[in-house]
A and B are shown apart, each in its own frame.
Chain A
Amino acid sequence: MQRYIASRVLYGIVTLTALTLVVFILGRLSGDPRNVLLPIDAGPEVFAAAGKAYGLDRPLPVQYLLFLKNLLYGNLGNSIAMGRPVLDIVVARIPATLQLASASFAIALVIGVPIGILAAVRRGGRLDWFGRTFAVLGQSVPVFWLGIVLSLVLGVRLHLLPTSGYGEIKHFILPAFCMGWFTTAALMRLVRSGMVDALESEYIKMAKIKGVPPMQITLIHGLKNGALPAVTMAGWQFATLLGGSLVTETVFAWPGIGLLAWNALRWRDFPLLQGVVLFIGIGFVVLDLAVDILYAYLDPRIRYG
């Protein structure tokens, strides 16, 4: 198992490096990177000094290494619009996004997984039909629109829930529900199909032969195997959630890195946006790794393989 984890960590590092390369190239796409990295009103001395700092007189690979070195030291430049170091700005916003993502994921787990299990056990029944309809709807609704409609109906017209703001539980409800919508549907589908496959296997027949009570069969014998496909995808789902935070935070003015990215886009603040990309990339990689480890733990064939 150690080897497995080591290889996954290595893979994560490679991915991150590739991401930095992509970001680097993006910065150089329009020619002189100073055009995007410096404020419009930067004077000629600032311009020249930046040229030296980015190593613009050196060959491109060296520039890349300089860039990497800066990254590793936490130097992500200064935000054009806010004038402060990007690192500080971004890090300050991460908790809000993580909280929202966790709340959404929790909702998805609590709703999606049980419905998925029940739909698999009562295949073809009414709950299954309901679940499948919900799943299709879940993957067809544009989240930003859902957020706007819910805000309109529950917030503006009925005054039931706040449409923006941060700090109390009631502020979480609408955004978390919207953000988790897609994931709930996806998890429900995955759990259902994983369970259906598991429930058709020989060891389930064996459990029946042993006289194990039906609930125990479903939850212990079935779920331990049936949940595996969902777990593999869970990491990817959480990553999609992070991506979805872009839209949800924008709709609900949630002070996380998603909203930050949107503002950065509007202000054409490349350094800030660059910082957000890198942090989201790190988030993806860390999540993937966590899921790989979880999967290895759950599947004894890998743990003791």
Chain B
Amino acid sequence: MIKRQRPPYAAIAIVALMAFLAVFGFLIAPHPANVGSLSHRLMPPSLSSGYLFGTDWLGRDILSRLIVGARVSFTVAVLSIVVGGALGTVLGIISGYYGRWIDKVIMSLTNLTMALPLLIIAMVLAVVRGPSYWNVIIVISLLLWSRYARQVRGEILSLKEKEYVAAAKVAGASTSWIMARHMFPNVVNTLIVLATLQTGWTIIVESSLSFLGAGVPPPDPSWGTMVSEGRSMIDNAWWISVVPGAAILLVVLSMNILGDYIRDRLDPRLRNI
């Protein structure tokens, strides 16, 4: 396993495609994603009809919805990781650097967060505030932050002892300077690895929440919502549910493979995630 691996080209291609679609997708979608053509309802996938993956019960093109859905899932995933990662990193650095009681407090918070059933709390939030993008982002960030905090704290603890930190202190550098300029750059590798490894999982959580109805609000077509919508028609229009789910599988699989590869290249110590 320590052999030099080839970069996973297929996975990279799929992830790149998804990123591209997320940003520019709306430009190339063949049909409008939220408006259906009633004369073309429930058409099965075919190469000739112009509806590559078929249509749903409102006549909306599945492929176009898939493309727009890419943006939804992608946005949520990226934002969640950014928010959760930033929160975790900052708290992790503070926790590791200052130690003592603040460290204990922050570490207890991570334990607490991990013990809470956040998926169902997301459902509660959906009832209380109605479904919204921010519900999902907040919940997923809460799910993610403790991982970052712990990992970063561990790194900081070992970096603290290094000589260049002492040298900087002697030279009169302020604490925030030391944290920003000396510690953070060393932690970046870990952050990259964690972020890539968690993107896949984040997409699954988001789509699960959307499937349950506690995620992205309609009519925005999150892939999870699309799967849920197609359930009642599974007998005669299987493509409505199966195609978006397959897309999720493909993207998450690619992200996981890519994440493993990046981890092996950048920081194999994190292998036991």
Residues of A within 8 A of B (CB): 11, 14-15, 18-19, 22-23, 26-27, 29-30, 36, 124, 136-137, 139-145, 148-149, 151-152, 156, 193, 229, 236, 239, 242-243, 246-247, 250-251, 261-262, 264-266, 268-270, 273-274, 276-277, 280-281, 284-285, 288
Contact = CB atoms under 8 A, between A and B. Distances in A.
Interface stretch (B39-47, B51-59, B82-90, B211-219): B211-219
Q: Is the interface of A mostly helix, strand, loop or mixed?
A: helix
A247 B214 CA distance: 12
Contact of A265 (B1, B126, B204, B245): B126
A149 B111 CA distance: 36
Nearest to B112: A18
18 contacts: A11-B111, A23-B124, A27-B128, A136-B253, A140-B204, A141-B249, A141-B252, A142-B227, A143-B208, A148-B227, A149-B242, A152-B238, A242-B117, A250-B211, A262-B123, A265-B212, A273-B123, A281-B115
A277 B234 contact: no
Interface of B: 1, 111-112, 114-117, 119-121, 123-129, 200-201, 204, 207-208, 211-214, 224, 227-228, 231, 234-235, 238, 241-242, 245-246, 248-249, 252-253, 256-257, 260, 271-272
Given A142-B252, A269-B127, A273-B123, 8 more contacts: A26-B124, A26-B128, A141-B249, A149-B242, A246-B120, A270-B127, A270-B128, A284-B116
Per CB-CB distance, the 5 closest pairs between chain A and chain B, nearest first, are A145-B245, A140-B253, A140-B252, A280-B117, A15-B115
Given A15-B115, A148-B245, A265-B214, A36 B257 contact: no
Contact of B119 (A14, A23, A229, A243): A243
A243 B271 CA distance: 25
A132 B272 CA distance: 13
Contact of B249 (A145, A251, A285): A145
Contacts of A274: 124
A261 B128 contact: no
B116 A22 contact: yes
Given A36-B128, A142-B245, A262 B256 contact: no
Nearest to A266: B213
Nearest to B114: A236
Contact of A142 (B115, B120, B208, B231): B208
The binding surface of chain B is classed by DSSP as: helix
Contacts of B227: 142, 144-145, 148
Contacts of B128: 26-27, 29-30, 36, 270
A277 B126 contact: no
A242 B115 CA distance: 12
A85 to B, nearest CB: 19
B257 A22 contact: no
Contacts of B213: 262, 265-266
Contacts of B112: 14-15, 18
Nearest to B273: A189
Contacts of A236: 114
A284 B211 CA distance: 23
A193 B271 contact: yes
A229 B272 contact: yes
A151 B230 CA distance: 13
Contact of B124 (A124, A140, A193, A273): A273
B236 to A, nearest CB: 10
A53 to B, nearest CB: 20
A250 B212 contact: yes
Given A18-B112, A265-B123, A284 B256 contact: no
Contacts of B271: 193
B241 A262 contact: no
A129 to B, nearest CB: 11
A141 to B, nearest CB: 6
A152 B208 contact: no
B249 A142 contact: yes
A139 B234 contact: no
A266 B126 CA distance: 10
A274 B238 CA distance: 35
A239 B114 CA distance: 10
Contacts of B201: 139
A61 B260 CA distance: 47
A140 B115 contact: no
Most chain A CB inside 10 Å of its own CB: which residue of B116, B120, B227, B242: B120
